[in-house]
Chain A
Amino acid sequence: MGNDSGSLLLRLSQVWKRYGGIVALKDVSLDVVGGEVHALLGENGAGKSTLMGIASGSIRPDAGTIDVAGQHIAEMTPALARRLGLAIVHQHPALLPDLTVAENMRIAVAERLGGGQVRGKLLSQLRRVGCLVDMDERVEELSVAQRHLVEIAKALAIEPRILILDEPTAPLGADRIAQLFEEIRAAAGRGTAIIYITHRLAEMRQIADRVTVLRDGEVRGTSLVGSISDDEILRLIIGRSVSTVFPPKGVSSGEGQGGLVAESMSGDGFHDVNLRVSPGEIVGLAGIAGNGQSDVLRALAGLAPASGQARLGDTTLRLNRPQAARAAGVAYLSADRQSEGLLMSLSVRENAALSALSQFAYAGVVQRGAEVAGVEKQRKALAIKAATIEAVVSALSGGNQQKVALARSLLAQPKLILADEPTQGVDAGARVEIYRILREAANSGIPVLVVSSDTLELEGLCDRIVVFSRGHIIGELSGADITEEKIAQSIITATTHRRDDAEMGGKRR
């Protein structure tokens, strides 16, 4: 195979994609050259993964063209993409849980099956990325990190001409990241065109030659990595300077009476957690996704089994009882709005009023007038963009859906707000409003606990940051120490101890 360095390998031109009423990609064009590492930056929901889904054939665009190595592709499919030498490492690995590691890799390389040589090649590829699992283990049995390594090895195994990596480092420890970067550089040296999706600036500086920024489905700029500053990139990513996105921080000293006090809480995914959130304070839980942050929130909401003690003001929270938690005033915003947070086929009104029906009821019968007035007031306050409050929730955009979920929490007059990834899949405009709503809730004296994998969001929104690693609290930042670098740094220092996870004993639980 010749070296493709310098030649145009992938060209996406004027790509459009709509989901219902939401425009996910708006006239997006992207060129990637052999031998370069091209970083694709943008917030959650900016359209990065959709664009790569289109390039790899698993998502069909509404308009636009795809050229691979100068050849126009009329209709891209995953099988065709692979034949053309395009491999993709998905953010959520495209693995088949019931099949073994070897079978998963064989499906991906699509060679004639059987034979020791293929198996040997696949095995050495697995080992090169530092994955030490048994080839005959079912994927279902692997840890999150191991699955990612299998996903990466599977992409490298076809010796791709074009390689797309979608946030490949999120669940990996520092050793594995270093190994991965070596593989990426080696591939680039062979002339492979590499698209590297991330939202970490430091990583982009380390590995990429060029960078393209997406925001709300549009390309906001392309530049050589060396000739653009972090500030400029940040402005492209969020569309304005950081100070106008986030509301001013609270004045609470963090020592007020009441609020949430959790002592030596342990449960599925976290151990011996001590937390304190004062009234008026927003506390962020940082860490790589899946290190126990979300589990703590679920436990506090009574949705996951836990032991230990938690008090909210003067009341002791009864763990393991979702109803008791709700009665005590705990409002939980799920990261999974679609299946857990909202009833997608019901209206805005029905969703919003669900937790507060007793307030609108007289003798057990809901008074429609009071209900409509209450919901309408919240709709205005939160700027929910829906035709009427009778609109079906599934027709709203991600941002507005999240605002409906917030409206429900606020209507129930909560004493504690637990928000898991509150801005995931939310457009930049709605995001600003969600920050404002959370800050206003805090200012009215409600303690707010936020889990986010977006360090920039944590920096801008939170009064205090608690860092998680492998289910333990490993650090805390407050005041001027809350910066993206410091947060990332303490996460990464922690992850160096995660090395073992990808190797032995990395079984789930």
Chain B
Amino acid sequence: MKQIGARPGVNLRRLLKSDYGPSLILVLIIVLLGVYTYAQNAHVLTAYNLSQTLILVAATAFASFGQLMVILTGGIDLSVGPLMGLLLVIASFFLNDDKSAFVALFGFVLMALAAVVTGLVNGLFVRVGRFNAVAATLVTYVGLQGISLILRPFQGGYISSAIANAIGLSAGFLPLAFVVAAILAIILEYCLRTTRWGLNLRAAGSREQAAHQLGVPVNRTVFLAYVACSACTFLGGIMLVAQIGVGDPNQGVSYTLSSVAVVVLGGASLFGGRGSFIGALLGAILVQQILDATTFLNLSEAWQYWFQGAFLLVAATLYTRARGAAGRARRA
């Protein structure tokens, strides 16, 4: 055993196969892409651009932390995007310039409530109703989007600039929201590795039958994952409020796909059981960076999609390869 541990090649291979392998690769890509973009257009690194980018990163990151919790259990939450949209729509009724602080506070409470109820409904569908996660959250997806469109058939309801500014508060190039997201990622990552909650989450997604035999409260764990997912989406929704600034029912939808994409880029398995919050944060950075880079490199909008698609494809292939023989044996 000792002689094996002493071989650096083996350690590197193990690191790449671990849950942090993808994070390492992401850091590498982020740095390379950053250097290249900077070489082409130095405006990328202005404080203003950085802080704007990082605020958008925070929105995606919060939503993807929630998505990751659900995906770790082997499920998926498609309702993340429409929920973000609904939160924005709710905000557009209460968080306006002409409303009192009390009304604004009530708006926040209502947003939180909407998020928690969505999580409870998803959890009930999946664990009590025993619906497939895709089907269950597709139902809430459609339902939430319907509610948003009833509340705000057209764009309207401008968000108070004071509130938007407070959410977007930055110290130089560093927005507070991004710092919160980064700290949250570290805390969640620590909990995922060392606490009972983290073990249960991964156990439920790895092999439910075995987890049950081991005394893991699978039902409760998965149910709470959906609630926690919506709670994280609530944080993402607040970011969206500051970003968009007006009640628009269609602004949230794209977050469903981007939250899943980010989680997969971060190395999570869609079959459940493995993933990383740090990886999700890095994935969110990379996705936002790609969007940014296409602008600064004067590429057409189509390239945003080409790049994202290419990275996802490469990531999925690479990570599956790294898991290699063991993955094949499991399927057999």
A residues in contact (CB < 8 Å) with B: 56-58, 77-79, 81-82, 88, 90, 93-99, 103, 106-108, 110, 113-114, 132, 134, 136, 138, 140-141, 507-509
Q: How far is the CA of A103 from the CA of B14 in the complex (A)?
A: 17
The residue from B215, B217, B329 contacting A508, defined by CB atoms under 8 A apart: B329
Q: How far is the CA of A176 from the CA of B211 in the complex (A)?
A: 26
- What total of chain B residues lie within 8 Å of the partner, measured CB to CB? 32
Shortest Cβ-Cβ A-B pairs, 5 listed: A98-B273, A79-B215, A78-B215, A96-B206, A94-B213
Contact call A106/B214, Cβ cutoff below 8 A: no
B325 at the interface (CB under 8 A from A): yes
The residue from B14, B196, B327 contacting A113, defined by CB atoms under 8 A apart: B196
Q: Mark B1-34, 1 if CB is under 8 A from A, else 0.
A: 1000000000000100100000000000000000
Which chain B residues border A140 with CB–CB below 8 Å? 323, 326-327, 329-330
Contact call B325/A508, Cβ cutoff below 8 A: yes
Given contacts A103-B199, A140-B327, contact A97 B212 (CB under 8 A): no
In chain B, what residue has the closest Cβ to A110? B215
Interface hub of B211, B217, B329 (most chain A Cβ within 10 A): B329
Q: Mark B102-114, 1 if CB is under 8 A from A, else 0.
A: 0000000000000
Which chain A residues border B274 with CB–CB below 8 Å? 98
Q: How far is the CA of A58 from the CA of B217 in the complex (A)?
A: 12
Contact call A113/B199, Cβ cutoff below 8 A: yes
* Closest CB in chain A relative to B57 CB, distance in Å: 28
Q: Mark B33-59, 1 if CB is under 8 A from A, else 0.
A: 000000000000000000000000000
B152 at the interface (CB under 8 A from A): no
Q: How far is the CA of A103 from the CA of B19 in the complex (A)?
A: 14
B139 at the interface (CB under 8 A from A): no
Which chain A residues border B209 with CB–CB below 8 Å? 94
In chain A, what residue has the closest Cβ to B217? A79
In chain A, what residue has the closest Cβ to B205? A98
Contact call B206/A82, Cβ cutoff below 8 A: no
Main secondary structure of the interface of B (DSSP, over half): helix
In chain A, what residue has the closest Cβ to B211? A96
Q: How far is the CA of A90 from the CA of B205 in the complex (A)?
A: 20
In chain A, what residue has the closest Cβ to B216? A107
Which chain B residues border A78 with CB–CB below 8 Å? 212-215
Q: How far is the CA of A50 from the CA of B195 in the complex (A)?
A: 32
Given contacts A140-B329, A508-B329, contact A99 B206 (CB under 8 A): yes
Q: How far is the CA of A492 from the CA of B216 in the complex (A)?
A: 37
Residues 294-332 of B contacting A (Cβ, < 8 Å): 323, 325-327, 329-330
Contact call A114/B327, Cβ cutoff below 8 A: no
Which chain A residues border B202 with CB–CB below 8 Å? 96, 98-99, 103
Which chain A residues border B327 with CB–CB below 8 Å? 140
Given contacts A58-B213, A90-B213, A95-B210, contact A509 B325 (CB under 8 A): yes
Interface hub of A78, A96, A99, A509 (most chain B Cβ within 10 A): A96
Contact call A508/B326, Cβ cutoff below 8 A: yes
Contact call A113/B195, Cβ cutoff below 8 A: yes
Contact call B326/A77, Cβ cutoff below 8 A: no
Taking A97-B273, A98-B273, A113-B195 as given, write out 13 further A-B residue pairs in contact, using a Cβ cutoff of 8 Å, ordered by the A residue number. A78-B212, A94-B210, A94-B213, A96-B207, A96-B211, A97-B326, A98-B274, A99-B202, A106-B199, A113-B194, A136-B14, A140-B327, A509-B325
Which chain B residues border A57 with CB–CB below 8 Å? 215
Which chain A residues border B148 with CB–CB below 8 Å? none
Contact call A134/B330, Cβ cutoff below 8 A: no
Which chain A residues border B330 with CB–CB below 8 Å? 97, 140
* Closest CB in chain A relative to B84 CB, distance in Å: 29
Contact call A107/B1, Cβ cutoff below 8 A: no
Contact call A134/B1, Cβ cutoff below 8 A: yes
Q: How far is the CA of A301 from the CA of B272 in the complex (A)?
A: 33
B170 at the interface (CB under 8 A from A): no
Which chain A residues border B196 with CB–CB below 8 Å? 110, 113
The residue from B194, B195, B199, B329 contacting A99, defined by CB atoms under 8 A apart: B199
Q: Mark B252-285, 1 if CB is under 8 A from A, else 0.
A: 0000000000000000010011100000000000
Given contacts A140-B326, A508-B325, A509-B329, contact A99 B212 (CB under 8 A): no
A-B contact pairs, 15 of them (CB 8 A): A57-B215, A77-B215, A90-B213, A96-B203, A96-B206, A96-B273, A107-B199, A107-B203, A107-B216, A110-B215, A113-B199, A136-B14, A138-B326, A140-B327, A507-B325
Which chain B residues border A99 with CB–CB below 8 Å? 199, 202-203, 206, 273
* Closest CB in chain B relative to A56 CB, distance in Å: 8
